[in-house]
A and B are shown apart, each in its own frame.
Chain A
């Protein structure tokens, strides 16, 4: 500080020769003082026009939760009921079959993947899906649908389906010839009610059309398939619709 003060003292000793360098500062202060002498302008508060109503939306105060996954007990009971009301070991035996299709392993292999709790190991029930669970749903769903096609649509009975009251999933007859959209919608509604619990016409409007497109694609694909599938093209088409519904999020959630 001492040295700095001596420097400033040195500059002060230069006299008139320093005035031009201070001129801008002088003018700036002069201008400021001029502004300060005038009172600040005041803008009075004026009520504005009311905002135009563009719509009314109620505040949603409902608790926000994750979607609920159907408990594994419910999934399994439903599965067994769709399999014809069989006991688990009997359903396993029939799902495995003797055709070498390896459609089904053992319930033991699926228990933890389905989200059952393991009280012995203090593992709680799974309340959210995971990749393994979704894969298990797919595998079990395919086994269910394929065996249902065999049973209900007579794929293993030489094309002779059982009486209607013994058909658990495909409780309808296949029309002769091509299935048009109306014929499809009528039968799709049966499956929709079976898996998702409500009539297909109440579903989003494009759902039936999308499933019909899926059905047509599968039927067309199977007509060209080589080697031939054990299912007829129509049976394969309905099996695909069944796959889509048994793996549908609305089937697993509630």
Chain B
């Protein structure tokens, strides 16, 4: 620069006297103009490296813990010690990759706790297994569904062989009653069939499946797919090549028909029941008599209730096996995966009811991982339509979830879900149920999808509309429900938004809960507006002030009268009910508290302490950075890590931090 300025001055000083006279002025002007540049140049020149202090090392260690997910190695420390180490570049380079992603996912998993402590039981898909004595006196297993409709009155709604035929009263989850007797071959052939099921054969859809699990015929099996031993061996220990299933359950058609047995009146109490059964065969419900012969989709609960010509589909792929009469175990998978599913801490034999909840949780983690790995707009955590599915989840969304519907909904004319949260047509077609390690992106689940809010894991973890609304309020707005100092006076007021003592919280909570009124509690069946209006004139209070039948299941008697009824959970805001979780996501991300809350959570996590009023300026600055970046976490994390507060966050400082430690 100095040389440059002298050249600049000398260029202006040829022999001209005028120029000679004005040369000092130019020189002065140049000096004035260039002084700031010179100063800037001096500032930007790399200062000589000072020796690293303990605090420097600890700062680096903290950053490594945050971005590498572990303490730094000796080699990384050696690189840090080099004079050309660029900490900013290091931060930029490491705000990508799996450890960074896991770091951010951990923040939101700690908040949302999206792991299930529940069993998913879906009568439509759950297969039980009972042992009977075969014609040769050897034990054999027969798979069946509870409450399967059958045309034989001896077995309708029960196991496919009657107590008279087996000697035993067989009911799911119940101890046997009676003494087993040999079942004749004729009966076995008539009421049961052998099936090559999906859990044993990779090519279970083939006319003659060949690729049996555990044999060379099944090439490159998924290493994480592992049925329990009980599903792989006969009672005598031989490898299973086909399973025996009740004939109705083994049916493969997609569409069945509503069946009416003609039984509309319960038999007298002392009447002898057919086949030695201990409870009378089911009576025809009004819907069956009114719609006899009507088509019904076979993968629905409606089919289980009404259609004896519906079963578990090709290779039983609409059902999940268990190795006992009480559900039993199905597959091996880990209990603990705190470092991700690629690094399990165990591998345990698990009950069939935990199979899908486990994958729901993995789906939520995948969704969050993708959000942070791709540095998506963070608002997509609530508004995103995308997700990821593997084989079991594809099976679940394709057919199993449909088995939840329809019970009381059928009375409103909904025999199958007409507007599911995850449209089965959007499930990748090339995923088989055994593809547990293969994950595929689903860009759009359907019009009702709203980030994590419409995932089974969220809807089952937060089972009620109020729990879902409270989770929104707490987790994404960082607000809590704190009751004011009010007395709970006796009241019969059903509207909690006005009841004294309740209203301080419920005036906010009930409208939030209303967003979830169309997603059934402890479930994920979506109730579309056209069949289930918020205010239904079809459902009314009777003379005793009650709602009857299906109306009581879906509508709220407390907000009903003789003219109509209000959809459950919708009274807080009928508008919100019709806006569905999609509206909830839209409204929550539009609130200014959404960005502030995200910034507070991330900042607090990286500083390792709760933020305080002293951090106000920092949080304001970070929020501005976050919003300006388009709600990108990477920009936020980089800003946090470059902040002075982060550098000072290491409590184990060198001055006095040793606390007399050896």
Proximity bits, B636-657, A CB within 8 Å = 1, else 0: 0000000000001111101000
Quick one: closest A residue to B645, CB to CB?
Answer: A63
**Among B65, B110, B347, which residue has its beta carbon within 8 angstroms of that of A74?**
B65
Specify which chain A residues have a CB less than 8 angstroms from the CB of B658 in the assembled complex. 203-204, 250
Interface flags, A95-137, vs B, CB<8A=1, else 0: 0000000000011100100001111111011000000000000
For B74, the chain A residues whose CB sits under 8 A away are: 171, 190, 193-194
Contact check, B652 vs A250: say whether CB atoms are below 8 A apart: yes
The smallest beta-carbon distance between A59 and chain B, in angstroms, is 13
Contact between chains at A120 and B72 (CB < 8 Å): no
Partner of B70, one of A77, A119, A207: A77
- Cα separation A108 to B116 with both chains bound (whole Å): 18
10 closest pairs, A vs B, by CB? A198-B57, A119-B115, A107-B345, A77-B70, A119-B113, A197-B61, A120-B117, A68-B608, A65-B609, A78-B70
Bound form: Cα–Cα A88–B340 in Å: 11
B356–chain A nearest beta-carbon distance, Å:
15
Q: Is A253 an interface residue (CB 8 A)?
A: yes
Question: B61 touches which one: A77, A117, A190, A254 (CB < 8 A)?
Answer: A254
> Which residues of the other chain, B, contact A253 by a CB distance below 8 angstroms?
651-652
**Contacts A74-B71, A78-B71, A197-B60 known; A254 to B54 CB distance under 8 Å?**
no
Q: Is A183 an interface residue (CB 8 A)?
A: no
**Does A74 contact B69, Cβ atoms closer than 8 Å?**
yes
Q: A197 near B70 (CB under 8 angstroms)?
A: no
In the complex, how many residues of chain A place their beta carbon closer than 8 angstroms to a beta carbon of chain B?
A: 55
**Residues 562-598 of chain B, each 1 if its beta carbon lies under 8 Å from chain A, else 0:** 0000000000000000000000000000000000000
Q: CB of B339 within 8 A of chain A?
A: yes
Question: What per-residue 1/0 map shows which CB atoms of A175-195 lie under 8 Å from chain B?
Answer: 000000000000000100111
Min C-beta distance of A143 to chain B, whole Å: 15
Which residues of B, 65-87, contact A by the 8 Å Cβ criterion? 65, 69-74, 77
| A55-79 CB contacts (< 8 Å) to partner B | 61-63, 65-68, 70-74, 76-78
Q: When the two chains form their complex, are residues A106 and B346 in contact, meaning their CB atoms are under 8 A apart?
A: yes
Instruction: Indicate if A210 sits at the interface (CB-CB under 8 A).
Output: yes
Number of interface residues of B (CB under 8 A): 51
Q: Is B77 touching A81 in the complex (CB atoms < 8 A)?
A: no
In the complex the two chains form, what is the Cα distance from A197 to B64 in whole Å?
A: 10
Cβ of A244 under 8 Å from chain B: yes
Task: Tally inter-chain residue pairs, CB-CB below 8 A.
Answer: 132
Minimum CB–CB distance from B97 to chain A (whole Å) comes to 13
B310-348 vs A, CB cutoff 8 Å, 1 = contact: the mask equals 000000000000000000000000011011000111110
Are the CB atoms of B70 and A116 closer together than 8 Å?
Answer: no
B338 contacts A76, C-beta separation under 8 Å: yes
Question: Which residues of chain B are near A121, meaning CB under 8 Å?
Answer: 117
A197 engages B77 (CB within 8 Å): yes
Q: Enumerate 29 A-B pairs (CB-CB under 8 Å) in ascending A order.
A: A61-B614, A62-B648, A63-B609, A65-B608, A65-B651, A68-B609, A68-B649, A68-B651, A72-B338, A73-B339, A74-B65, A74-B70, A77-B70, A77-B99, A92-B345, A107-B345, A108-B346, A111-B338, A116-B336, A117-B110, A121-B117, A194-B73, A197-B64, A198-B52, A198-B58, A202-B654, A210-B662, A211-B662, A250-B652
B60 touches A250 (CB 8 A): no
Whole-angstrom distance between the Cβ of B437 and the nearest chain A Cβ: 15
Query: A211 — nearest CB in chain B belongs to which residue?
Result: B662
